[in-house]
A and B are shown apart, each in its own frame.
Chain A
Amino acid sequence: MKKNILIYLSIVAVGLVTTIVACKKSIEGRTENISFLAPSNVDANAGSWKLVLLSRPDSFSVAAPAATNSPGYIGELNEIKGLQQNLTSDQIDKIKYWNAGAVLRWNEIMRELVSRHNLPPYQNEDGTYPIPNSANPFNYPQFPFSNPPYAARAYAYVSTAQYDALVACWHYKTLYNRPAPYKTDSIINANAKYIAKTDLPSYPSEDAVLAGVTAEMMKLFFPTEISFVEQKAADEKASTLASGKNTRSDWTAGEALGRQIATVFLARGRTDNAGKAVGTPALWAQMEQDCAAKGEVPWISQESPKRPPMLPLFGKVKAFLFDSATLVNTIRPGAPPSTSSKQFKDETDEVLYYSEHVTRDRMKIIDFWADGVATPTPAGHWNDIAAMDFLTQNFSEVRWARNMALLNMAMMDAAIACWDAKYAYFNPRPSQIDPRIKTLTGLPNFPSYISGHSTFSSAAATILGHIIPSRQAAYDAMADEAKMSRLYGAIHYRSDIEVGEQVGKSVGAFAVQRAESDGAE
C-alpha cells in the first residue's frame, strides 16, 4: 500500500518536472526568426521622393564607381567569395538578422537604447535632482534621460535622417546603376542564400547608408552608446559583405554618404530648442504662479522630494510638420475644465471610480499601454506596432524608412503639441485634487491636460491608417485602448484623453498631408 502510494507520487513528480522543464524553453522575440526582406517593389524611383531636410538628393556627392570588369572590383568580388567560405552559424545568424531589414533592426536598437536610458534621475542629498548633462554624458545621471518627449524626438530625427539618406542613396543607385555582386558573379549568387535578390543596383549600399547615418545621429542622441552602436554598424558591414549583397566599395561609398547626410540633421537637432526644454527653477515657479493667477489650481509634483516638471519648454521645440504659429493658433486646444467647475469635479469623481474599482481586464490594458519608465515610451510602442505591420507589407528599405519617418515626425510633433498644452495650462493630476485616488501605473511627473498617450496614439493611428488603410480600424481601436488605459490607471481625466485625441488627429493629418505629396504614393 505504502509502496503504491510512493510509486504514484513518483509518477506525479516526474510528470510535473517534465511539464515545468518543457515550459522553460528559452524565450524568442517576435522578430528573431523572421525571413529576409523581400520587397514587392524596389521603388526604383525613390531618388525623386520629397526630402525632409536635404535640398537635393545629390547635396552630397558620391563618386562614380569603378566598372564591374575592373581589377579592383574583381578583387572585391574575391573578398566576398572568401567571406562566404566557412561561414559559422553565428555569422549566418547575423546575416539573417540584418537582412530582415536594416531599417527594422536599427529601429529595434533605438527602442532598446531608449528603454535603457529612460530612467528618472535619483535625487541629491539635499532633495534637489541632478540634470543629465550632454557635455558630460557618462556622469550620473547619464545623458540622456530618454523620457517620452525626448524619445519621440530621437526616433523622429533618426528616422528622417535615415529616410533622406536612403532617398539620396536611391538617387545614386539609379544614376550609377552598378549591379549587385550576386548579379555579377555566379559563385556569389550561388552562395547568397540568405538575402532577397532584386534588380536594385548596389552602389552605394543601402545598408551602409543606414549604418553610417544612424551611427552618426547617435553622437547627439545617445552619446554614451557610440561604441555600442559602432559595433552594431561593424556587424552589419561584415554581415552585408558576406551575404553577397554588396562589395566593399558599395559599402564605403554608402557609409560615407550616410555620415555626411547626418550632419544636416545633427545641425538642426542642436538648434531646435530641445537643449533649452528643461527650463530653470524661476521658469517652473513662474508657470505655477501664472496658472494660479488665472484662478486655477496649478499642478504640483507628487513625487517626494518634489521633482521639477518634465521638459516644460518642449512645446517650443521646432516641429517637422508645422510652424510655431500654426501650433499656437491652430493646434493648441482650448483650456481644460476649470478646477472649480462642476465638470472638473465630475471628471475627478470618474477617475476615483476607476481607482476604486479595479478589474483584471482593465489592469491588462493599463499594463499593456503603460510604456513608462525603462520602456521604449509610447512612441516606441507605436514603432513596434508599425514595424510588425510593415513586415507583412514587403516594403523596400526606402519605403520602410519613409513610413517610419512619417510616423515618427507625427509623434515628435504630437509630443510638441501635447507638451505645449500641458505647460500652457499647468493642470493638476487627479490624485493631486483627490488624495483618495491611488494610481494603477506610474504617475507621470508633469501636468495632466492633455494626455500624452492619447496625443501620441491618435497621431500614430492617423498616419498608420493612411499608410495601411486596411488596418485603420485596428489602429483606431488600439489608440482608443491606449487612451482609456490612462483613465483606468487613474492618472488622467476624460477631458485630457478626448482633447488629446483631437490634437493627435490634427497632428496626424499634417503627416498624412505630407505623405500624399512626397512622391511615394
Chain B
Amino acid sequence: MRRITKIISSSVASAILITITCSVSAQTDMDAIMMNKNQFCQGLTYDYSSWDHYWEGTFKRTNENLGTVTTQSVMYMPNYGITSNLNVMASVPYVWTNASEGVLHGMKGFQDLSLVVKWRPYKIALGKNQLSFFALGGFATPLSNYVIEFLPMSIGLGSTNLTARGMVDFRRDRFTVTASAAYIWRSNVKLDKDSYYDTQLHLTNEVEMPNATQYQLRTGYRGKYLIAEALLTKFVTLGGYDITKNNGQLYPNIKMNSTMVGANVKYTLKSFTNLSFDGGGNFTVAGRNVGQSKAFNVGAFYVLNLGKKAKP
C-alpha cells in the first residue's frame, strides 16, 4: 500500500529563463500525493526542454542566431514522510544549455537547491468523495554562482525564492482534480556588470526581482499503480519589463509569463512497489518574454521505509 510520491519534476529545464514555466517552483510539489510516515523516496529525473520560437514582449519570432535553444537537466530528488500528513522534499538539479545555431557558448552547472515542506492539515471524506487541503512552503537558492546575465544561455535566474502554495484535491473513486496556487517571493539578484539598462539605466549591480505567481490545474486517473493526469500550468511575473525589439541583452527581471498544457504518467511496479517510473510532457501555448518550449521529462523513484529499519 505504499505510495510513492514524486516531487513534481515538470521541468527544471523548462524553468530556465526564457523557457520558464513551472520552473520557479519546479521542485515544489504540485500534486496531492503524500509519502507515508518514515518513507524515504529518492528520485532521479531527466528533463529536456527546447524552443525555436519565443516572445519578445508580445512579438513572437524566431532567431537564426540561436536556432533551437535546448535546456537539459538531471535532478536528484529526495522526499521524506515525517508523518503521512507532513512531508519534506528537496531537489538538486544539474543544468546545461545549448543553441543549435549562431556562435553563443552554452552554459552548465548546478542550478538551484530547492526545499519544500508539504502539509496536509485536512482530509474530509464524504461517501465516495474525498477532499484534501494542502499547504506548502518552499525555499530555493542557487547552488553555484552561475552567470545570470547571459540569457538565454544562462542556466537560471539566480534569485533565492520563497514559495507559499495552497492546494485543494478532490477525489471520487479513481478520478481526481487538483488545483493549486502559489505566490513566489524572489530576492534581488546581483549581476557581474555594475550598471544595466532595463527600462532605465541603473547604476548598480543589483536587480530588483519581481515576485511571481503560479497556478496549476491537474486532473485524471489516480490508481494504485497507474497515475495519468492532464496539466494546465500558468506562471505570471508580477512586474518586470518587456524585452525590446531585437534586444539580445536580457536581465533576470524580465516579465516572464507562460501558459503550458501537459500530461504526466506515473507507473509503480506491481511486482516491486518500491520502484516507480514517470514521464511527462509540457507545451507552452501562450507566453510573454519566454521561449515557446516543448518539454519532456522521465524519472525513476525508489522508496525505502526507514521506520522499519529503525525497529530493533
Spot the interface stretch: B8-16, B242-250, B263-271, B299-307: B242-250
In chain A, residues 1-43, which have Cβ atoms closer than 8 Å to a Cβ of chain B?
2, 5-6, 9, 13, 16-17, 20-21, 23-32
Inter-subunit contact B147/A24 (CB<8 Å): no
In chain A, residues 306-343, which have Cβ atoms closer than 8 Å to a Cβ of chain B?
none
Docked complex Cα distance between A122 and B59 (Å): 12
In chain B, residues 190-224, which have Cβ atoms closer than 8 Å to a Cβ of chain A?
191-197, 200-204, 206-208
Q: Contacts A20-B185, A24-B187, A119-B245 known; A29 to B105 CB distance under 8 Å?
A: no
Chain B residues with CB below 8 A from A373, complex form? 247-249
Nearest-CB residue, chain B, relative to A13? B137
Inter-subunit contact A5/B101 (CB<8 Å): no
Inter-subunit contact B139/A16 (CB<8 Å): yes
> Chain A 437-464 against B: per-residue CB contact (8 Å), 1 yes, 0 no?
1111111000000000000000000000
Tell me, yes or no, whether B102 is within 8 Å of chain A by CB. Answer: yes
Tell me, yes or no, whether A120 is within 8 Å of chain B by CB. Answer: yes
Chain A residues with CB below 8 A from B191, complex form? 367
Inter-subunit contact A374/B249 (CB<8 Å): yes
Tell me, yes or no, whether B150 is within 8 Å of chain A by CB. Answer: yes
Chain A residues with CB below 8 A from B149, complex form? 367
In chain B, residues 99-123, which have Cβ atoms closer than 8 Å to a Cβ of chain A?
101-106, 117, 119
Chain B residues with CB below 8 A from A108, complex form? 201, 203
Inter-subunit contact B197/A375 (CB<8 Å): yes
In chain B, residues 52-110, which have Cβ atoms closer than 8 Å to a Cβ of chain A?
64-65, 82-83, 86, 101-106
Inter-subunit contact A304/B139 (CB<8 Å): no
Inter-subunit contact A27/B207 (CB<8 Å): yes
Chain B residues with CB below 8 A from A440, complex form? 105, 150
Inter-subunit contact B139/A116 (CB<8 Å): no
Tell me, yes or no, whether B233 is within 8 Å of chain A by CB. Answer: no
Inter-subunit contact A443/B197 (CB<8 Å): no
Inter-subunit contact A23/B188 (CB<8 Å): yes
* Interface size of A as a range: 35 or more
Docked complex Cα distance between A13 and B104 (Å): 40
Docked complex Cα distance between A108 and B203 (Å): 9
Tell me, yes or no, whether A288 is within 8 Å of chain B by CB. Answer: no
**Most chain-A CB neighbours within 10 Å: which of B195, B207, B208, B247?**
B195
Docked complex Cα distance between A305 and B101 (Å): 12
Inter-subunit contact B160/A20 (CB<8 Å): yes
Inter-subunit contact B203/A30 (CB<8 Å): yes
Nearest-CB residue, chain B, relative to A384? B195
Docked complex Cα distance between A169 and B197 (Å): 34
Out of B101, B102, B106, B203, name the residue touching A384 (CB < 8 Å).
B203
In chain B, residues 158-173, which have Cβ atoms closer than 8 Å to a Cβ of chain A?
160-162
Docked complex Cα distance between A437 and B102 (Å): 11
Nearest-CB residue, chain A, relative to B160? A20
- Minimum CB–CB distance from B108 to chain A (whole Å) comes to 9
15 cross-chain CB contacts under 8 A: A6-B119, A16-B162, A21-B185, A23-B187, A32-B203, A112-B201, A304-B102, A358-B105, A364-B192, A372-B248, A374-B249, A375-B195, A438-B105, A439-B103, A490-B105
The 3 A-B residue pairs with the shortest CB-CB distance, nearest first, are A367-B192, A115-B197, A438-B105
Mark B residues whose CB is within 8 Å of A. Answer: 64-65, 82-83, 86, 101-106, 117, 119, 137, 139, 145, 147, 149-150, 160-162, 185, 187-188, 191-197, 200-204, 206-208, 244-249
A122-B246, A384-B195, A443-B103 provided; 20 other pairs, C-beta below 8 A? Answer: A2-B83, A9-B117, A9-B137, A23-B187, A27-B188, A28-B204, A29-B202, A30-B203, A30-B204, A112-B201, A115-B197, A115-B201, A140-B245, A304-B64, A363-B150, A367-B192, A368-B194, A373-B247, A375-B193, A384-B194
